Each structure stands twice: as structure tokens, then as C-alpha cells.
């Protein structure tokens, strides 16, 4: 019975209804790993919102890449499993490979036809003072960044 419940929960967490489209194998693996990590921690129950996986075209090929946002995950037995003061985990899956970042918030913008990923990151990434700090990332055979 427990196995049937586990399989049902996995199906629900990874179903197209939860994410709006079939996630790639890499995005599914990220979510599955998070679910397993939650379960290992005092038998927690995992949940992901509909916004956990979003699609944005970073490569410019017309095929959207996936962003898996751990700020949209929750675990019943942990308040901060996937993040802390330095940010929350964010993975961008490009050509089947996940690129991992930490961000307090994020947004994509179009800048003259180029998708730019803006990350609000911990102030220590910019200087020793407290204040806002952002990273701008663009894709060119890997993510390139300026601070």
C-alpha cells in the first residue's frame, strides 16, 4: 500500500497538470531528487506549485529551456530545505544539462531579442556592504554573466 501511495505521489508531482507541460528528463530528475530529499528528512511530504517549472528561450533557437525554481517547492518537515539567506536553488536546463544558481528572486527580460536571466543574489556577491546585488546571465555556449 505504501508503494502504491509513493508511486501515486510521484505521478502527481511530475504530472503535466502540475507543470503545464511534460518536463524534460533533467527537470524531472531535479524534482524527483527534491521529493526524495524531503522524504528522507523525517518522512516529509513534498509539494511543488504550478510555477515550479517555467519555460524561457535562452539559446534563441525557438525551443524554450526550462527553469526549475526550488522556491516553489515545500517540504512538510523543513522550512528551508532548498535555500537560505544566500538564496534558493534555481536550475536552468539547457540541452539536457542543468545549470545551478542561488537567487533570492529572478526574472527574465528580453533585451533586443536576447533573453537575459536576472538574478537577485546575496549582497556578498557584489561587495562587503549590505544592499541589492544582481547578476545578469545570457546564453552563449554556456551562461555568461556580468555583475
pLDDT in tens, 107-124: 999 999 899 999 999 888
| pTM, to two decimals | 0.81
d(Cα 110, Cα 120) in Å, to the nearest integer?
Answer: 17
pLDDT in tens, 76-114: 999 889 998 889 999 999 999 999 999 999 999 999 989
Question: Domain extents for the chain?
Answer: 2-146
pLDDT, the chain, mean: 86
Greater confidence, 79 or 48?
48
Q: Which residues lie below 8 Å from residue 73, measured CB to CB, with a gap of 6+?
A: 31, 34, 38, 46, 47, 48, 52, 81, 82
Which segment of 8-12, 19-23, 47-51 scores lowest on mean pLDDT?
8-12
Amino acid at each position: 500500500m505504501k508503494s502504491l501511495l509513493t508511486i501515486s505521489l510521484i505521478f502527481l508531482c511530475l504530472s503535466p497538470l502540475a507543470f503545464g507541460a511534460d518536463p524534460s528528463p533533467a527537470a524531472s530528475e531535479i524534482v524527483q531528487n527534491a521529493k526524495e530529499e524531503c522524504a528522507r528528512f523525517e518522512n516529509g511530504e513534498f509539494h511543488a506549485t504550478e510555477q515550479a517549472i517555467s519555460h524561457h528561450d535562452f539559446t534563441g533557437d525557438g525551443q524554450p529551456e526550462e527553469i526549475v525554481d526550488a522556491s516553489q517547492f515545500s517540504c512538510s518537515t523543513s522550512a528551508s530545505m532548498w535555500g537560505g539567506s544566500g538564496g534558493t536553488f534555481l536550475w536552468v536546463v539547457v540541452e539536457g544539462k542543468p545549470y545551478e544558481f542561488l537567487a533570492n528572486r529572478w526574472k527574465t527580460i528580453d533585451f533586443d531579442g536576447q533573453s537575459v536571466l536576472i538574478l537577485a543574489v546575496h549582497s556578498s556577491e557584489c561587495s562587503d556592504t549590505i544592499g541589492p546585488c544582481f547578476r545578469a546571465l545570457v546564453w552563449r555556449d554556456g551562461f555568461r554573466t556580468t555583475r
